[in-house]
Amino acid sequence: MRSLILVLMVLLLNDTWAQAEVPKSPNVLFIAIDDLRDWVGYLGQNPQAKTPHIDRLAKMGLALTRSYCAAPVCNPSRCALMSGLRPSSSGVYDNNNDWRELVAEDLTLTSTFRKAGYFVCGAGKIYHERYTRPSEWDDYLPTPRSNPKPKGNDGVGGIRFAPLDCTDDELDDWHITNYAIEQLGKQHEKPFFLACGLHKPHMAWNVPRKYYDMHPLESIRLPPYMKNDLDDVPTSGIAMAKPDGDHKNIVESGRWKEAIQGYLAAGSYTDMNVGRLLDALNKSEYKDNTIIVFWSDHGWHLGEKDYWRKFALWENTTRAPLLWVVPGLTKPGTVSDRTVDFMTIFPTLTDLCGIPTPKHVEGNSIRALLADPKGQWNEPAITTFRFKNHSVRTEGWRYIRYANGDEELYDETADPNEWKNLAQHAEYTQKKSELGKLLPKEDTPEGGRVTGKKKKRNN
């Protein structure tokens, strides 16, 4: 009898949750992190990561374990997410492409929310900071650019890391977070869209020394690594990895573990600021009617495949955290292993907030997944790096096709480190053909213009 009562109670609770509604015109807290790969505690990818506040956020709602960027470069990744247009549609492929010349102001996520009656404000790095368009915002705090510099050796070549003898509030990200905290403490007549863009762990990995101390050098472990990993990678992939550059310099310097320590320290500094922001929201009058979406623009390599940085199409460069907390919809502590890319963020936000999704947006809402994390979702994650170089990621596979026709294929279930390229094995011809059909159907030349007309979807 007691078992029957428990079953009925669970069914009742599930039914009640299914019928719960998202608040009308909810606020949005839009948290963007720079260069944060899957080294966060809740993903379990690297047990050395210390991110208790990001983990706390994950427990508040839904964590997606297979989430991928539209481009492994800051400018095109952010432009794609904010415009709803993939790089292959907009022509924004790299950091030197001025997205403002290619994407009309009325197409963007911020403009869409403003037209719907939202107060749109933000601080820090949302778009690439080389190109700003203040007219999209009702209020925006420019980055102060006041970070202190380290004394002495600041890393190896272009890989920059060193502790700082300073306090938390001497870094820009502290003040960016303060802006968001202040907005959460204000009375708002309209629903708000509040964007908080934190820079760390973008290089340089210069943060207060106490964050380095959280990751003692003697405890640092290197990431999964296989010698000769690049032997079966085609020339296009090797050209992206540049193994004779950063990686060679790091190995010869003997400072690989120090660099890992720097990245982990920078991630822990950002985690601290995320905690401050969550505390402020929890104390505010908006805690029960604010959607939180947390994302990073792309991942990062720290020696895997003899590679450092982000400009490539493998798992470690394309995978990044994605968290959702939606009052009335997401359940605390839920997880979804469905594969999504960040083109879903724009349409999901408009869907949740009762705003019509603009016709040009390339991506579909994952509202159904937020309610049912194990529900059906058959769309792949597509990542593009420069003109005609694409990666398709499904739950089980990654297929990369480069502009010159070079290919890589990885069985992600059997080979999560992507150590065995199967593209030249005849028995996988059908799998390559199947995944190849998911590639973008159009490749706009770099710097090509868009009109706002709806592009053909890839699903």
Q: Residues 53, 128, 202, 360: which is the catalytic one?
A: 128
* H helices, E strands: number in the chain: 14, 14
Active site residue 353: no
**SS3 assignment, position 17:** helix
3-state DSSP assignment of residue 124: strand
Q: Estimate to the nearest angstrom the gap between the alpha carbon of 378 and the chain centroid.
A: 20
Q: How many CA atoms lie within 13 A of 383 on its CB side?
A: 33
Tell me which of 69, 74, 79, 121 is the catalytic residue: 74
Query: Distance (Å, rounded) from C-alpha 68 to C-alpha 116?
Result: 28
Active site residue 74: yes
Neighbours of 21 (CB within 10 A): 8
CA distance 85 to 330: 27
As given in the structure block, the two tokens for residue 225 are 């690594």
Backbone angles phi, psi at 67, to 5 degrees: -125, 135
**Residue 62 β-bridge partners:** 324, 334
| Nearest-angstrom CA–CA distance, 422 and 404 | 18
Cα angle vertex 64, ends 93, 324, to 5°?
90
Q: Specify the DSSP class assigned to residue 164.
A: B
| Region at 157 (left for phi over 0; alpha for psi -120 to 50; beta for the rest) | left
Q: How many CA atoms, within 13 angstroms, populate the side-chain half-sphere of residue 432?
A: 17
Question: Between the CA of residue 386 and those of 88, 94, 230, 312, 438, what are the distances in Å?
Answer: 9, 6, 21, 10, 18
CA 78 vs. chain centroid, Å, equals: 9
Fill in the DSSP letter of residue 268: H
- Joined together, the tokens standing for residue 45 give 């990818």
Backbone phi, then psi, for 455, in 5-degree steps? -90, 160
Residue with tokens 């509040």: 194
At 435, list the tokens: 């995944």
Q: Bridge-partner residues for 195, per DSSP? A: 30, 122
Biggest alpha carbon–alpha carbon distance for the chain: 71
Distance of CA 105 to the CA centre of its chain: 23
Q: Which residue has the tokens 């970070």?
A: 147
Residues carrying an active site annotation: 74, 128
